[in-house]
Structure formats: structure tokens, C-alpha cells
Structure 1
Amino acid sequence: MGHIRFLATAATVWTVATAAFAEVPAVAADITPVHGLVSRVMQGVGMPDLVVPPGASPHSHSMRPSEARALDQADLVFWVGPRLTPWLEGPIATLASDAKVIALLDAEATQQLMVRETVQFGQGHDDDHGGGHDDGHDEEHGDDHHDGHDEEHHDAHHDDEHASGHDADHGTETAHADEHEHSHEAGSLDPHAWLMAENGSAWLQVIAEALAAVDPENAPLYMRNAAEGQAEIATAAAEIATKLDAVAGKPFVVFHDAYQYFETGFGIQAAGAISLSDASDPSPARIAEIRATVQEMKVRCVLSEPQFNSGLVATVLDGTDAGTAIVDPLGVKLEPGPQFYPQLLASVGDAIAGCY
């Protein structure tokens, strides 16, 4: 193990006995939802580093030296994958070349959904992109893809593809914008998979197994933490489902199409999205179409996001009786740490339930 942290903790006598002098792996996570899940598994042992800080765009963040150092020192890197943060693939390949790298979106247990193609999300479109995503996952990626990504993440393909454009500053705020847009094209995989509670629960297990493999001395604690975290997610999901019962069947519009995993998990349906991607503004034609959707479907709720153009939401709302609420798929205002993930799910559920 290349880079080791030593941590003594007084959480419990059992933890002190098992972890006080144990070699604890250095771990990095890309975004706050992943960081929260890793923190829950590592609770009582250590704390992962966060590469993309709260409030920064996961699509175009320019890493600070401390964040680059976290990758350089990492034994394990957990990230959603290049479909969410294509700019991060190069730094991971160069800085974390000795680390075990796990793209959670490509984990075998992950339920996957494809990017929705139309402005209005109708029933026919759901038949193409809704349930049955496990089968689509197998067809799209296959077992060889999963094994190859985890075990051969730093192969020659990545070295060749990312040999340029990643200097000591690791890019600029606008780097790879076109690549991000490609990740949201019709027929591509929707990267916002953390917003499905079932995926969060599955990822806890993936994280625990990876940590146990590199740190077997603390394996029992990782597994116990993962199981407890799964129970916490289940409790939060049950509470969210109860709140959403009151708005079941009521159409709503989102700022950008980031919530279909949440919708699928809780059996609700957005009517459409103002923007396909959060990396660029929608066209006038798309604005006109979503306005028509709001009027035709008598949409009562339009969900905005704190970091994006509120004027676009006002344009869509103009002349309607629809209300609005702020929802954040990254939980910028939440405290990072072991309890972050269930709180994030609850915040999304509260925003939708309270919008009517």
C-alpha cells in the first residue's frame, strides 16, 4: 500500500482495539454524495478526501493543489465515473495511477437509466428508458466491461487519450465542456444514479468490499457500517415515500433532467425538463416547448436549482399558476460526512412534496 494514514480513534473500545494502530487506506471520493457514502463505511476508521468541494461544478471544476494531492496519495478512489466528470479521468489516470479506482456507475449492482430524449417525458418514452435497466446494463457494458474498468482503469488507452491537456493545473473551468454535452446525448447513460436509494444502498456494499480488500484488519467494521448505512437509507426512503404519496400523479417540471433515478425509485414522474443538461442553456425552441407542456398538463410545480439561471424558471412560470421550489441534486447546503446521503435524499423529497 503506497500511501498510508494512521488514525487512532476513541469511538469505542472495540474500535480502539482493532483500528488504533491499523494501517488505514487513503481514500478519495469525487462528489459529496459519493463522499457521504464512503464516509459512512469508514466511520470509526478514517475520513475520505473530497475532490470536488461543495458548490463546485462536477462538470468543470479546476482542482486545487490539496485536491490533486488527495488523488496522488490515494490507495482507493471512488467516483461516479467519466460520464459525470469527464475532466477527472485524466487526473485519476496520472495522479492515482497506483490506486484502486472504482467507477460506481459501472458497478454490476448499479441500476442504470438512459438519458431521456424529449422535452416532455411521456409514458411511451418511459417504456423505452424506465424499468428493465438491469438488462440494459448487462447488454451495454457486459461483465468484461466491469472487470476491465476496475482492474485496468489505467491501461494504455487512458494514457494515450489523456496524455495531453492535463498539466499541473489540471485544466480550466471550461475544459471538456463538449465531452460533458456528449454524456447527455440521447442514447447515453444518465450519470445521476446516486439519486436512487437502491443505488446508494448497493454502493455502500461495493465500497465496503473494496475497503475490506485493501484493509482486511478493519473489514468487519466496514461491513457493519455498510449494513447500518443501508438500514438508514431504507428508513429515509420509507419516510420520503410517505411524504410523496400526497403528490403522486401530480406532474412537475425540473430545471435539468437529473432526477429520473429519484423518480423511478419513488414511483413519481416529471413532466419534462427545462434543460437537457446543466452545462448549457436550453434553446428558445426548448423553452417554448416546456412552456407549452406546463400549460397543457396544468403543471403545478417547477423545480429550480440554486446554482443555475433562475430567469429561465421565471420564463417558464410566466402566465401560469405553477409554484416553484429549489432542489439540489448535490446537497450543497448539507454538511458532508457519514449522514450526508440519507439527508440528501430527504431534501429532494421535501422539495418536491412541498412545491404544491
Structure 2
Amino acid sequence: MRGLYVAAAVLAFGQAALADTPKVVTDFGPVQSLVAMVMGDLGTPDMMLPRGGDAHDFQLRPSQAQDLATADLVIWVGPEMTPWMARAMDSLGSGLSLPLLDAPETLTRTFGAKDEGEHAHEGVDPHAWLEPENAQIWLGLIAEALAQTDPVQAETYRANAKAAQAEVTVIEADVAAVLAPIKDKPFAVAHDAYGYFAAHFGLQNEGSLRMGDAAPSGAAHLAELQDLLTADGAVCIFPEANHTDASARQMAEATGARLGAPLDPEGSMLTPGPALYGDLMRGLARSMAECLSQQ
């Protein structure tokens, strides 16, 4: 099941008001957090990927497959991020789907893009929650999806979304303040997941050890990256949570850069819930600043 945009899909799904809060299923931490903000006290969205799981490679348990099949609303980034969700939804025939990356309002980038606002879906970078403007947009889309699925509580969802958007504004300002002193410090990362974050906050991301989420580190690419980081005087190289730091450690030794703390762009090691999005964004900023600010 793919690309069924919510406004049209809900009309087909039915307009009747629901007596209970709808059963909402999400793919992984950042999306679950945004949905939890909008649902508030009305309910808690399920999350398919457990804490510590790999968002790109996961196998649903039978009980999770049943939850997905019986969901009233599935809110997820899209198959570019969690292909196992797409496969499960195709086979299970679950109900209404809101793939956030497909929404026309979503700001997208292609892998390696240097400018903002691109909307090419071929090679699209799915890590779009790292753009705070997308978090704002998605909160509104989530509220409307819930409002149309559960009209009785529509105004509550919309009010919660507005409050959450104000919270994201605070998160964005906090992150910007932490990162401001190190914006001119070049660094490298484990994989190409930080395009949105670096572009929004004006950071000097020089490259990644892996070009994509599942792409191995080829010898030619690593040699080119080593030359670039050495020439540009990269200050830090950041490994990634839930993955080995061996390649990052080797690159740091080869270039003279410091090895930073593991970054967690997917919130894989964080506690799920409404606070996760802020914890994720602030955590990235703190980890980067702690390494890049050292003399």
C-alpha cells in the first residue's frame, strides 16, 4: 500500500464519528513522538520499531503485524525509511495510511544535495524529521488525519498540534543556540543522514563514511573522503548510535580528527513518547558541540 494521501483516503474510509480514540500505529521514534504530541491525553500511538531496532531492517512480530492490520490510521515516514513497513502493509491490507514524506507540503532533499527545498523523489533523503520546519508541517498533517478519522475530538487534536508546534519552535531555538559557536567547524558523520539538519542550522558537514543507509563503505570513497577531511582540517568524526564505530575510529586516526560521541538521528536509543523529538534534536546539538568546541 503506497502513497494514499490522507485527505482523499479518509473520505473513502468513512466520515462517521468514532466512539473511541482511533488505533494509531507509527513506524519509529520521531514519528511516534510527533503523533503522541498531537494525541495528548486522548491516547498513545503504537510504535512498530522497538527501542534499539534498526529502522531500515526490521521484521515484525506476529502480534505487531496484527496491530498494523487492525489499525485505524498508520502514520509513517514512508518506504524510503522503513521498507519493512511498506511490505507488511502491502501484504496485510491495513487501513488508512499517511506517508509523511509523500505529503506535498513536506520539504525534501536528495542525498548529497547542497541547497534546500528540493522535491525530487528519486534518491530522496528520508531523514526529513531533522528539518524542524517539517516537524511543524507534519504536526498539522497529523492533526488533520486524526481529526478526520475521529471528528468528535477534532478540535482537541488541532489545539494539541498548535501547542506542539510552539514547542518545536522552542526546540529549534535551543538547538540553534547550542550550534551557533561551532558553525564553521568541519566534521564528518557515519552515514548520509544529516543533510536536513546541517542545511537548516548552517553546519559544515564535509561528508559521510557511508553514502546511504545500507551502502557499504567502498575503498575509493573512503580514500577520497580521507583526502577531503585532511585538506579541510576536519575537527571531528561522529560515529552513530546502534552501529560499530570502527570505521569512524579508523578515519579519525587517519585524518587527525577527534572521534565524537555517537549521534542518534533516529532516536533509536531514546525513550519513546512526546519528549523524544526534543531529546533527539537537542542531543544531536550537544554531541556535536561538545566535540567541535574543543580547542
TM-score by length of 1: 0.74
State the match for 1:8 in structure 2.
Answer: none
Once the two structures are superposed, residues 175-203 of structure 1 have per-residue CA deviations (whole angstroms, 9 ceiling, x without a partner) of xxxxxxxxxxxx51111101111111110
Does 2:290 align with 1:342? no
Amino acid across the alignment from 2:105: A
Q: Which has the larger radius of gyration?
A: 1
Residue 213 (structure 2) pairs with residue 281 (structure 1): no
What does 1:120-135 align with in structure 2 at a 5 Å threshold? 126=114, 130-133=115-118
Residue 295 of structure 1 is aligned with which of 221, 224, 230? 230
Matched, 1:104 2:100: yes
Aligned to 1:171: none
Structure 1 residues 35 and 256, CA, compared in 2 at 3 Å: closer, same or farther?
Answer: same
1:108-151 CA-to-partner distances (Å, cap 9, x unmatched) read 211000111xxxxxxxx62xxx1242xxx2xx47xxxxxxxxxx
Name the counterpart of 1:254. 189
Deviation digits for residues 48-97 of structure 1, max 9, x if unmatched? 11111121111110111221121011000011111112232121123243
How far apart, in 2, do the equivalents of 1:229 and 1:264 lie?
Answer: 23
Instruction: Provide the C-alpha distance between the structure 1 equivalents of 2:153 and 2:93, rounded to a whole number of angstroms.
Output: 23
Instruction: Say whether 1:195 aligns with 2:130.
Output: yes
Question: Deviations for 1:258-289, whole angstroms, at most 9, x for unmatched residues?
Answer: 01111122122301111112324201111111
- 1:47 aligned partner, one-letter code: T
User: Residue 262 of structure 1: SS of its match in structure 2?
Assistant: helix
Contact 2:226 2:254 in 1 (8 A): no
Per the alignment, residue 36 of structure 1 pairs with 33
**1:74–1:96 CA contact under 8 A, matched in 2:** no
Task: Return the match for 2:249 from 295, 314, 329.
Answer: 314
What's the secondary structure of 1:230's corresponding residue?
helix
Question: Which of 104, 110, 113 is the matching residue for 1:114?
Answer: 110
Runs of at least 5 residues in structure 2 that lack an aligned partner in the other structure: 1-17
**Secondary structure of the structure 2 residue equivalent to 1:105:** helix
Number of equivalences:
274
Contact 1:28 1:77 in 2 (8 A): yes
Once residues 327 and 132 of structure 1 are traced to their aligned partners in structure 2, the CA distance between those partners, rounded to angstroms, is: 24
**Equivalence for 2:49:** 52
Alignment TM-score, normalising by the size of structure 2: 0.89
Residue 190 of structure 2 aligns to a residue in which SS? strand
How far apart in 2 are the matches of 1:132 and 1:193?
Answer: 11
Give distance in 2, aligned partners of 1:321 and 1:23.
58
C-alpha distance in structure 1 between counterparts of 2:275 and 2:164, whole Å? 9
Cα RMSD for the two superposed structures: 1.6
Give the SS at the match of 2:51: coil
SS in 2 for 1:326: coil
Letter in 2 for 1:41: V
State whether residues 23 and 72 of structure 2, in contact with CA within 8 Å, keep that contact through their aligned partners in structure 1. yes
2-structure distance, mates of 1:288, 1:307: 25
User: Which of 151, 155, 164 in structure 2 is aligned with 1:229?
Assistant: 164
The equivalent of 1:204 in structure 2 is 139
- Correspondence 1:325 to 2:261: yes
- Between the aligned partners of 1:23 and 1:94, the Cα distance in structure 2 is 27
Shift of 1:22: 4.1
Within the candidate set 168, 180, 184, 1:245 is matched to 180
Residues 1:27 and 2:31 aligned together? no
CA distance, structure 1, for counterparts of residue 63 and residue 39 of structure 2: 21
1:355 maps to 291
Match of residue 15 from structure 2? none
Indicate the residue corresponding to 2:7 in structure 1.
none
Structure 1 runs of 4+ with >6 Å offset: none
1:122 aligned residue: none
Query: Which letter maps to 2:270?
Result: L
